[in-house]
Amino acid sequence: MNQEVKEVNAVTAHQMINKGALLVDIREWEEIEMIAFDMENRVMLPQSELANRFFELPADKEIIVGCHSGRRSLEVVRFLMLQNFRAVYSLEGGIDAWQEQGFPVKWDMCISEAVLQANHSS
């Protein structure tokens, strides 16, 4: 089976998530700690853990896979399609494109406080 990966832009992804699609952030924990998607229908499942945990994802729901720039999410979508996920999409441009559209993100407070403290002490 050689199906083509479906991509959605940030605007379409945001609309889909608001209608019930699940956003799966496949970036590694260190990346997620710096900046994260700020949506209710979101799970964090780093790509390094995917092979052992993909079964945790609902196969009957639309899934949008997001990463930093959109390259890793293409690989993950291909993998999920091989596992018989049908309604799975790659977020074109990743969290970078998401943020450029002004969609909600969360910044890690510990990192932000550390940066603020470092800036005040110099």
Which are the catalytic amino acids? 67
Residue 106, strand partner residues? 36
Residue 44, strand partner residues? 25
Contacts within 8 Å (CB) and 24+ apart, 100-106:
100/10, 101/10, 101/11, 101/14, 103/10, 103/14, 103/37, 104/37, 104/38, 104/39, 105/35, 105/36, 105/37, 105/38, 106/35, 106/36, 106/37, 106/38
Residue 109 token pair: 């407070």
